[in-house]
Structure 1
Amino acid sequence: MPASKAQQAETSARRTELVRLRRQGLDFDTIAARLGYSSRGAASKDLIRALESNRDEEAAEVSVYRQQEGERLDAMLAALWPQATEERPQYGAEGKYLGKGVDVRAVGEVRQIVALRAKLFGLEMPAALEVSGPGGGAVRLGAATLAELNDLISLAGDPDGTDPDDSEDEPNETLYVDEDEDDDSDPA
């Protein structure tokens, strides 16, 4: 049986307080004791439920928004489609008959509407980006000398237009790239 309105309000108030206390940095044991949860696990699960519920509500609102915007764009598209696709008599500035054709401005508007719909509904293909090394091969991550980096820059072309060979002789330093990006531990 679904919860009564009073029970729903009570659950909502408790979850609101749960989120507030967690944002303050309190641990789940303390939160469970303050809010009457049976255990720290119950408080933790309720926090997850609160976050999921909020996410579901947001997703529903976004879905409704997309639907409304899609309907508006569809109405505009329907109004412009005949002008953009059907040939009609075309007249010049002085009223001179130029022949039959489609309304070029309407074609541009239709293209913009179609692009907006694709963006709204996520239909655009993502741009493929690739960083490659010399000859299209893989970029090696790890230790590299300054000379090796300068060689790579000269192969790719220096973006600021300066020639790395014109610089004064620099020591052959070794630079390191952190290959373990997930390790956020601080040795201090």
Structure 2
Amino acid sequence: MNTVGRPTKAQRVNIAQRRATAVAMRLAGASYQQIADELGYNSRGAACQDISRALEANLAEQQAAVEVLRETELQRLDILWADAWAVLKREHITVSHGKVVYDERTLDRDEPKPLLDDGPVLQAISTLLKIQERRAKYLGLDAPTKVEAITIDAIDAEIRKLAAELEGDAAGEAADTAGTAG
């Protein structure tokens, strides 16, 4: 260790290598005691703690990578949004067999107006909605879906509970009947 109490770069490399080896050994089925003995840990608890630290560090690195990926994907969605928005705002004319189709209501004018085509606009709207859905998923804005799983054991337990209640009710009614008969 250096004068501040932090490991030097070389020591950090050695620690990372030892942790990687310890994790690999654990994955291969080695016990913590075997790992401690082979890699020179003071105890099996120290080996376990070091493996936990390695996994936590790896998880933090993975989370950072996921955040970078999420941000990249959001930027890509922004670009697609801008493109779809531009399509939505443009005027689209109807063309049939290579010729512009004109609005029948304007044919008697000096300059008839082309018939507008709503197809590209509707496609742009659909695309914008899909981009919004994807963005919401990336950002976790959608409410979670609730799923209720009922097991056979739970059903059997409920049946036993109801049967016991019925038996209790039947016994109570029999006692009431016997009490009123005497």
Q: TM-score, normalised by structure 2?
A: 0.64
**Match runs of 1:89-168 below 5 Å:** 89-93=91-95, 94-96=100-102, 97-98=114-115, 103-130=121-148, 140-142=155-157
* Counterpart-to-counterpart distance in 1, 2:82 and 2:92: 21
- Which residue of structure 2 aligns with residue 37 of structure 1? 41
**Match runs of 1:12-31 below 5 Å:** 12-31=16-35
Post-superposition shift, 1:82?
4.3
Moved over 6 A (4+): none
* Counterpart-to-counterpart distance in 2, 1:127 and 1:143: 26
Post-superposition shift, 1:17?
1.4
Structure with more of its chain in helix, by fraction: 2
Alpha-carbon contact 1:89-1:98 (below 8 Å) kept:
no
Deviation per CA, 1:27-58: give whole Å up to 9, x if none.
22222121111111111110100000111111
Match for 2:147: what amino acid?
L
SS in 2 for 1:3: coil
Deviating more after overlay: 120-129 vs 3-12: 120-129
Deviation per CA, 1:44-96: give whole Å up to 9, x if none.
11010000011111111111000011011012112322443x4x645322332
Deviation per CA, 1:128-151: give whole Å up to 9, x if none.
33468xxxxxx7442869xxxxxx
Deviation per CA, 1:107-137: give whole Å up to 9, x if none.
11111111111122222222233468xxxxx
Task: Look at both structures and tell me which one has the larger radius of gyration over its CA atoms.
Answer: 2
Structure with more of its chain in strand, by fraction: 1
Query: Higher relative CO (CA 8 A, sep ≥ 6), structure 1 or 2?
Result: 2
SS in 1 for 2:146: coil
Residue segments in structure 1 that go unaligned for 5+ positions in a row: 133-138, 146-188
